[in-house]
C-alpha cells in the first residue's frame, strides 16, 4: 500500500467518506449524520486476510482519524463484534466501550467511542 484513495458520498441522511488502499487490500468508512455533524461513525474497517498483521489496519484507522479531525469531528464511534480480537484492538487505539450490549445487534456487538483531539498547529500546516 502506498496511497489511500478517498471517495465522498452524499446520502439522504448525511454524508460518508470511504477510504480504500490503492492496492485494494483495505478499506474504512466514516459516516456523518446531518443530525450529529460532530460525530463520525466508523464503518467497515476491512483488511484482506493475506494483508493482516502488517499494520495496514492501524494505518487505515489513523488515516480515518486524521480525516475526522480535518472534518472537525469531535468524536468517532463504532461497533465491534464480541468474541473477536477487535474490542482489544480498538482499546489499544484509544477507544472505550459505552454500550456493552448493543440492542440492535441482538447483543452481538459493543458500542465504542473515542474523543478526538483538535489538530495541533504542526498538523494543520
Check which CATH number belongs to the domain holding 66 and give it.
3.40.630.30
pTM of the model: 0.89
Identify which of 14, 42, 32 has the alpha carbon closest to the alpha carbon of residue 113.
42
pLDDT band at 2 (very low <50, low <70, confident <90, very high): confident
Q: What is the pLDDT of residue 124?
A: 61
Q: Which is it for strands 75-81 and 39-47: parallel, antiparallel or unpaired?
A: parallel
Please state the domain count of the chain: 1
**Chain segment 67-95, per-residue pLDDT in tens:** 999 999 999 999 999 999 999 999 999 99
Alpha helices in the chain (DSSP H): 56-70, 86-92, 121-124
How many residues are given for the chain? 125
pLDDT reading at 15 higher than 80: yes
Three-state DSSP state, 23: coil
pLDDT band at 115 (very low <50, low <70, confident <90, very high): very high
Mean pLDDT of the chain: 92
Owning domain of residue 90:
4-124
- In the chain, the DSSP E strands lie at 4-10, 14-21, 26-33, 39-47, 75-81, 96-99, 109-115
Amino acid at each position: 500500500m502506498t496511497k489511500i484513495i478517498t471517495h465522498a458520498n452524499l446520502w439522504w441522511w448525511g454524508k460518508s467518506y470511504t477510504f480504500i488502499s490503492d492496492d485494494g487490500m483495505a478499506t474504512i468508512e466514516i459516516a456523518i449524520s446531518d443530525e450529529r455533524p460532530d460525530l463520525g461513525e466508523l464503518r467497515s474497517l476491512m483488511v484482506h486476510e493475506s494483508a493482516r498483521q502488517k499494520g495496514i489496519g492501524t494505518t487505515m484507522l489513523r488515516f480515518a482519524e486524521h480525516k475526522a479531525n480535518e472534518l472537525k469531528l469531535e468524536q468517532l464511534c463504532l461497533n465491534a463484534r464480541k468474541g473477536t480480537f477487535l474490542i482489544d484492538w480498538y482499546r489499544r487505539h484509544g477507544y472505550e466501550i459505552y454500550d456493552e450490549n448493543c440492542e440492535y445487534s441482538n447483543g452481538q456487538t459493543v458500542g465504542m467511542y473515542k474523543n478526538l483531539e483538535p489538530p495541533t498547529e504542526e498538523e494543520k500546516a
